[in-house]
Structure formats: structure tokens, C-alpha cells
Amino acid sequence: MLSEFRAFIAKGNVLDLAVAVIIGAAFGTIATSLTGDVIMPVVGAIFGGLDFSSHFVALGPIPDTFAGNPANYAELKAAGVPVLGWGQFLTVVINFLILAFIIFLLVRYAKRTMARFGPRIGAAARAVPMMLCGLSGWHAGFSQVVLVGQPSGEPARALRREMAAHYLPFAIVIPVAPGAPQERMARRLPFVGPMTALGDAAAYVCRDFACQRPVSRPEDLRAIVSPAA
């Protein structure tokens, strides 16, 4: 039963209802202020009062012990006097109509906006993260790390493990095997052509294809890439 209850609480419609209640309460406060502080004083002034709540009909006698204001609806009601508060009821009805009209306008313009900009918003949801990623890379700068050496050899594998130990989102690791594979890659990336393995393996850390002196030990590679990690 507890698991079913958790599943019920986590349902989308329950969460949507909770959000709707919170938003409705917020708009209710705005509508109440709009009615009580702006509209009702203006309308009430036309009828000779500050608001409609001052308009009522006493249906019974006022007790002799009543020490309040006989023209105050709230005080008479608190004293137990039967009162027909048509003004208060009218205020509540106007509050409801204003709140309903505000919600109507919101829904109306939201539908128009979604119908007009919905396809654009859907495209932006995919484009914005890509734009942010590109902008971050442009500010941080892209780098290339060329690992020259036999891929199956332990020296080259040690350099690859060292690179994998660092978070370098804007670094491109290019493994290069000496010999014919390096010659073929040099046709597409000419800057890797003159690179050598310095024995068994070497790492060339480049920024915008301008490379530093090669290193062959993982700890030397760590010293270069760790500030950017």
C-alpha cells in the first residue's frame, strides 16, 4: 500500500494539481488586492461608501450591550446580530469574476503564444544547449593531445590512461600509430606528420594546433594538462 501511495503522489497529474493550487492562490491574492485596493474603492465611492461590504440590512434588533459601530458589518456580525450582508456577497462575487477573467486572459494568451511560437520554442530547446556548449568552448579554447606510439604498447596505454584520468571537455585526443597510419592521418592533419614517438610513445599537447614540446612520461603529461582539468 505504501508503494502504491508513493506512486500516486508522484503522478504527473497530482504534481500539476499542486502547482495549479499554488499559482491559483498567488493569483487569488493579486485579484483580492486589485478588487479591494483599486476597483472597489472607486466603485464604492460612486455608491457613497468605501466598498460594498458596508452595505447590509440588519434583520434583527441590536443588543443593548453592543458597544461597537452599528454601521459596521463585521462588528454587528461578530456580536451575533442577524445581518443580510448583500454588499459583502457582492464583493465576493466581483472577486470571483475578476479572478476568472484573469485566468481566462492568461489561458487565452498562452494558447495564442504556444500556437505562434511553439515550433520555434521546440527548436530552441535543442539549439540552446548546443549554442552554450559552443560558447563555452570558444571561451575556454580547444586543445588537441596527440599520442604517438603503438596503441597496443604499454607506454602509449599509460599515456591514454593519464588522459582519461582528467576532465577535459574541450580537449581532443588523437591517437597516432607510427608508420603508414601516421602518413595517412597527416594527409588530413598535416601538423601530425613530423611528430615522433621519442622511443616508445610521446604526447604532444597543442592549443589551436600550436604544440608544446613532447613528453613521454605520464607524470609529465599530468603536469601539463592538470591546470586545465
pLDDT in tens, 44-101: 666 554 467 777 777 777 766 666 676 677 777 767 777 777 777 887 787 777 767 7
| Domains annotated on the chain, with CATH | 2-137 (1.10.1200.120), 141-228 (3.40.30.10)
Residue 15 exposure: Cα atoms within 13 Å on the Cβ side: 6
Judged against a pLDDT cut of 80, whether residue 117 lies above it is answered with no
Residue 21 to residues 14, 18, 28, 85, 121: CA-CA distances in angstroms? 11, 5, 10, 29, 26
**Alpha-carbon distance 56 to 96, whole Å?**
20
Using CA atoms in the order 43, 46, 51, 53, what is the torsion angle rounded to 10 degrees?
-110
Tens digits of per-residue pLDDT, 131-190? 777 777 777 677 889 999 988 889 999 999 998 888 888 888 889 999 899 999 889 888
C-alpha cell at 13: 497529474
Coil/strand/helix, residue 219:
helix
Report the pLDDT averaged over residues 187-205.
88
Helix axis angle, 12-33 to 86-140, nearest 10°? 120
pTM metric for this prediction: 0.41
Got the DSSP string for 97-109?
A: HHHHHHHHHHHHH
Q: What's the rounded Cα separation, in Å, for the pair 60 and 76?
A: 10
Strand, coil or helix: 11: coil
